[in-house]
Amino acid sequence: MPEIEEGIFFLTGKDFTNAGAASSSLKAVLERIGIPKDIIRRTAIAAFEAEMNTIIYAVAGMLKYRITDSEIVVTIQDMGPGIPDIDLALTEGYSTAPDYIRAMGFGSGMGLPNIKKNSDRLTVNSIVGEGTTVEFMIKLKDEAQ
C-alpha cells in the first residue's frame, strides 16, 4: 500500500511577516521524505504564489497538501473577495493588486500563471464574495513508467 503524507497549515490575511511560512513548512516536508529537488522547487514556488495570494487578498485561508507515491496535490482555500473572471486572472500581467503590494515586489499578475507553469494540473474555483480555491497537482512519476 502506498504511503500517504498529508497536512494542513492555516493562513492569516495581511500577515506579511509570516507570509511564506506555510510553503516553507511544506518544502521541509518534501525534503524530509526525499522528493527530487526540481519537484520540490516547482511545488514550493507554486505553493508560495498561492499562499501570497491568500495573504494579499483574503481574510484567512488554509493550505492543505497530500503526497502519494505518484503525485503531490496542494489545495489553497481562502475566505476572500473571490475572482469574477478566472480566465482573465490566469492571464499573465493581469492584476488587481494595490500599490503597497507592488511595492513589496508582488502583484504583477504573474501568480496564477506561474502556478500553472510549475504544475501538471491547476484548477481554480471561485465564488465572488465568498472565496477562492486553488488546487494544483505535480506528478511524481511519469505515467509511462
Partner 1 sequence: MNIGQILKILDASLLTSDALPQKKVESAYCADLMSDVLSFSVTRSLLITGLTNPQVIRTAEMAAIEMVVFIQDKKPDMQTIRLAEEKHIPLLSTSYSMFDTCGRLYENGLRSHAYAR
Minimal distance, residue 35 CB to partner 1, in Å: 13
Minimal distance, residue 129 CB to partner 1, in Å: 26
Those residues with Cβ within 8 angstroms of residue 24's Cβ, 6 or more apart along the chain or in another chain? 44
Minimal distance, residue 55 CB to partner 1, in Å: 9
Binding site for partner 1 (CB under 8 A): 16-17, 19-20, 23-24, 27, 37-38, 40-41, 44-45, 47-49, 52, 104-111, 113-114, 117
Give the nearer residue to partner 1 in terms of CB position, either 11 or 44.
Answer: 44
Q: Are the C-beta atoms of 125 and 132 separated by less than 8 Å?
A: yes
> Would you say the C-alpha torsion 145, 123, 57, 6 has a positive or negative sign?
negative
Q: Are the C-beta atoms of 51 and 27 separated by less than 8 Å?
A: no
